[in-house]
């Protein structure tokens, strides 16, 4: 073989080797480890950060936490291995941190950085004691209706310290795991939402559309699968109890106790007669709630669930507490009889912003307020024209999507809780409602002095046998303040 031919042969051999190696190189370039969705902050604590992520494969993921964005001072690390069995979803927890302190965090996937996420993210641990802080919440987020979800720009501008998802977080309406998983994944990559997921802790319960089909209840044959997928995609502090599955849990933050309830897994059918035998929560969850309420020393105790607490939806097709009134009243009577102060409620589902009151002061207790935020990304409804709760404190909001905001200040001599509802441009649509622990103790009546005058007039008209909403305008209209109309 001539020198020229040998060189040609060697060159060809080298090219064959090079091309043989290319598939591996290309595979490495196209399939590098990274996040498919996330990160998202989960259950907060004074000394911990929880980070949820869905990795692109079954490999190790490392969380690094530092006091500076250059990561010269890494203070904690945590590792976990993503598995195909869990759709590569995992939660990493860095512990041993300082309370109420700002940190930076980043993730490595199979030992390498994510090529799509170069910059680290900022997070803050929870306060160790009573604090001033903000909690945002909402429900009904349908990506099929609104893939852009402008409301998240407003939520970020409100600067909450915590966000609660109160159900219908996706609209799966399916018994197929692939469909449910796909919608969770799509919801985690909404550009307006991603910065909030990475900087504010997110906790969640569910309602019918993410539990199963519309109005589904505890008879659902695929509820165990729904629960399994739900637990993959959220980073709550816990899920039910060891002997009682579900998504309910307790979260303490800044001196306030939040009791997030599961209104689906153990629910009886809505058309079952409303007697003491009918339940939304199930016996074990209800016992847990009563036990934890008695233990709580917090000045405010927030009960959170998907459906509204008032009697508003007591109609054909209703599936809120309005058709489980016996059990609801049992809980409120328990709060009264045990002298448990400071209880307020938040809810979702109705496709309206609502601020209602259940006047338990008329039964020897105190008035219990229910603040509903809905929808985040869905069609608003005007169901209020055929509904009447015990007391409407503010006019309903049906003009835009909305988000609820709870502002707590427990730093002074008198703790306060302020309710506001904001539209998609950020404007507060009502006058704020301000409550103190003194408003929420047995024997104290507040509903009439806290409610808008026009709502009191509507209620009086209804009690006289006329329609709650009529065409006859209130006396003096329009030359008087009327919050909720613009």
Q: Is the CA virtual torsion 244, 292, 99, 133 positive or negative? A: positive
Mean pLDDT of 385-413: 95
Q: What is the mean pLDDT of the chain?
A: 91
- Amino acid 386: pLDDT: 83
Kindly provide the residue ranges of all beta strands, DSSP E only, lying in 424-479, ordered along the sequence: 433-435
Cα(214)–Cα(186) distance, integer angstroms: 20
- Angle (nearest 5°) at CA 409 between 305 and 263: 5
Cα(435)–Cα(428) distance, integer angstroms: 17
Helices 223-233 and 177-187 cross at an angle (nearest 10°) of 30
Cα(184)–Cα(178) distance, integer angstroms: 10
Q: Peptide bond before 478: cis, by omega within 30 degrees of 0?
A: yes
Nearest to 294 by CA among 328, 334, 267: 334
- Amino acid 11: pLDDT: 44
Does residue 20 carry a pLDDT above 50?
Answer: no
302's enclosing H/E stretch is strand 301-304
Does residue 2 carry a pLDDT above 80?
Answer: no
**What distances in angstroms separate CA 323 from CA 308, 310, 317, 400, one per listed residue?**
10, 10, 9, 27
419 versus 3: the higher-pLDDT residue is: 419
3-class secondary structure, 341: coil
Does residue 410 carry a pLDDT above 90?
Answer: yes
pLDDT in tens, 124-135: 999 999 999 999
- Amino acid 371: pLDDT: 98
Cα(332)–Cα(368) distance, integer angstroms: 8
Which pLDDT band holds residue 9 (cuts at 50, 70, 90)? very low
Q: What is the domain partition of the chain in residue ranges?
A: 35-124, 132-451
Residue with tokens 């209020």: 384
Residue with tokens 């009546």: 445
Which pLDDT band holds residue 385 (cuts at 50, 70, 90)? confident
- Amino acid 421: pLDDT: 98
Cα(331)–Cα(324) distance, integer angstroms: 11
- CATH architecture assignment, domain 35-124: Sandwich (2.60)
3-class secondary structure, 3: helix
For residue 340, how many C-alpha atoms fall within 13 Å in the half-sphere facing its CB?
A: 26
Q: What is the CATH number of domain 132-451?
A: 3.60.21.70
Do the domains 35-124 and 132-451 sit in the same CATH topology, yes or no? no
Does residue 32 carry a pLDDT above 90?
Answer: no
- Pick from 12-26, 165-179, 257-271, 464-478: least confident: 12-26
Cα(227)–Cα(119) distance, integer angstroms: 33
- Amino acid 464: pLDDT: 85
């Amino acid at each position: 073989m001539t020198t020229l031919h040998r060189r040609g042969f060697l060159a060809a051999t080298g090219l064959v080797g090079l091309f043989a190696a290319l598939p591996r190189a290309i595979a490495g370039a196209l399939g590098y480890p990274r996040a498919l969705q996330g990160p998202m902050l989960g259950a907060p604590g004074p000394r911990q950060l929880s980070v949820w992520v869905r990795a692109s494969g079954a490999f190790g993921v490392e969380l690094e936490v530092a006091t500076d964005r250059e990561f010269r001072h890494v203070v904690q690390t945590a590792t976990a291995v993503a598995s195909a069995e869990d759709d590569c979803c995992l939660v990493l927890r860095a512990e041993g941190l300082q309370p109420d302190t700002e940190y930076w965090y980043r993730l490595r996937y199979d030992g390498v950085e994510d090529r799509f996420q170069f910059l680290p993210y900022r997070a803050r641990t929870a306060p160790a004691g009573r604090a001033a802080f903000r909690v945002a919440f909402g429900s009904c987020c349908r990506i099929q209706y609104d893939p852009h979800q402008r409301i998240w720009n407003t939520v970020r501008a409100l600067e909450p310290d915590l966000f609660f998802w109160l159900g219908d977080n996706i609209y799966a309406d399916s018994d197929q795991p692939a469909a449910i998983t796909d919608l969770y994944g799509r919801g985690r990559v909404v550009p307006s939402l991603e910065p909030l997921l990475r900087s504010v802790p997110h906790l969640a319960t569910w309602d019918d559309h993410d539990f199963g089909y519309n109005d589904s209840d505890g008879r659902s044959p695929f509820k165990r699968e729904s629960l399994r997928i739900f637990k993959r995609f959220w980073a709550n502090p816990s899920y039910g109890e060891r002997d009682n599955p579900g998504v309910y849990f307790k979260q303490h933050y800044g001196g306030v106790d939040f009791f997030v309830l599961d209104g689906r897994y153990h629910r009886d059918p809505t058309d079952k007669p409303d007697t003491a035998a009918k339940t939304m929560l199930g016996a074990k969850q209800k016992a847990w709630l009563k036990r934890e309420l008695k233990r709580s020393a917090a000045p405010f105790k927030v009960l959170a669930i998907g459906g509204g607490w008032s009697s508003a939806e007591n109609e054909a097709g209703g599936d809120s507490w309005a058709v489980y009134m016996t059990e609801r009243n049992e809980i409120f009577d328990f709060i009264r009889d045990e002298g448990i102060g400071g209880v307020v409620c938040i809810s979702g589902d109705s496709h309206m912003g609502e601020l209602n009151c259940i006047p338990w002061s008329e039964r020897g207790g105190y008035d219990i307020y229910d603040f509903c935020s809905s929808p985040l990304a869905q069609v608003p409804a005007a169901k209020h024209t055929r509904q009447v709760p015990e007391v409407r404190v503010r006019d309903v909001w049906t003009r835009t999507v909305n988000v609820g905001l709870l502002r707590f200040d427990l730093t002074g001599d008198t703790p306060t809780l302020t309710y506001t509802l904001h539209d998609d441009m950020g404007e507060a649509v009502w006058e704020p409602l301000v409550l103190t622990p003194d408003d929420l103790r047995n024997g104290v009546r507040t509903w009439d002095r806290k409610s808008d005058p026009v709502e009191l007039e509507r209620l009086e008209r209804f009690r006289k046998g006329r329609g709650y909403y009529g065409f006859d305008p209130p006396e003096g209209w329009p030359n008087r303040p009327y919050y909720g109309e613009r």
